[in-house]
Amino acid sequence: MDTELRVLMLTAVTISCLHTVTGPDHYLPFIALSRVRGWTVARTIGWTLLCGAAHVGSSVLLGLVGIGLGWSLSKISGLEDIRGGLAGWALLTFGLLYTIWGLKRAAGDQVHKHFDVYDSGDVYVYEHKHGEIVYPQERMKVTPWIMLLIFGLGPCEPLIPLLTYPAAQHSTYGMLLLVITFTLFTLLTMTGMVLLGYYGFSVLKTSRLERYVHALGGLTILICGIGMVYLGW
């Protein structure tokens, strides 16, 4: 395995864990549903893995954009010898732009999801801005199937540039390894956080970090791109 692929795998692991841990919606709903519905640990893990697989699946589909960009980059006439360098610069540029966008998003009052558990045992999801009033009719009752839909429609965007690099190298092995790594660590992190809550351990307070999830993802990609372009990783 070459150095570039090792760096990309480490970046994929970092992003998958950060994306999951800093997003309470990746685990709190499962903890709440398991408590109010009296789920066994096996059923709780089962729904967590199913929804996690839907989340990763949509991320991989979005990552196909990165694969397409990488293949297009590799076909530019006269640039065959430096396409790896171009892919590194593409990674760096995407990371920089994504970090800036993430910081602007964190500084603003962006719409975000909330999950509330009521005394009746019902769990509701809704989107709002801080200080904004949300009326009952604007909330959606959460069921396991609704959770599956929410996760299927919520991909992880940073997977796009990670797949661009091995695609530019025509490395099917590299692309598959990145997808498997991202999938494995996303599911492991989701399951770990859910199990902590299921057994009553205090789950990390990540509400403040949640708004910076995109900036952190962009920074991770930016560091990876800088290493490849300037440090010979």
> Which residue from 26, 3, 4 is spatially nearest to 207, judged by alpha carbons?
26
For residue 169, the SS3 value is coil
* pLDDT, mean over the chain: 77
- The pLDDT tens digits of the residues spanning 31-84 come to 888 887 888 999 999 999 999 999 888 888 877 877 777 766 666 544 444 445
> Which residue from 142, 136, 111 is spatially nearest to 124, judged by alpha carbons?
142
Provide the domain count of the chain. Answer: 1
How far apart, in Å, do the first and last CA atoms of the chain sit?
Answer: 13
Helix axes 172-198, 3-21, angle to 10 degrees: 30
Model-level pTM?
0.77
Domain, as residue range, for 214: 3-230
Query: Dihedrals φ, ψ of 17, to 5°?
Result: -70, -45
Percentages of the chain per state (helix, strand, coil), in multiples of 5? 70, 5, 25
Greater confidence (223 vs 144) lies with 223
β-pairing verdict for 140-141 and 123-128: antiparallel
Between CA 144 and CA 146 the distance in angstroms is: 5
- Asked if residues 65 and 229 have their Cβ atoms less than 8 Å apart, the reply is no
Q: Which residues are CB-neighbours of 87 under 8 A, at least 6 positions away?
A: 70, 73, 164, 165, 168, 169
pLDDT at position 188:
95
What is the rounded average pLDDT of the residues 13-20? Answer: 88
- The pLDDT tens digits of the residues spanning 125-180 come to 666 555 555 545 556 677 788 888 878 887 777 777 788 777 777 778 888 898 89
Q: Which residues are CB-neighbours of 114 under 8 A, at least 6 positions away?
A: 125, 126, 127, 128
What is the rounded average pLDDT of the residues 108-132? Answer: 61
233, amino acid identity: W
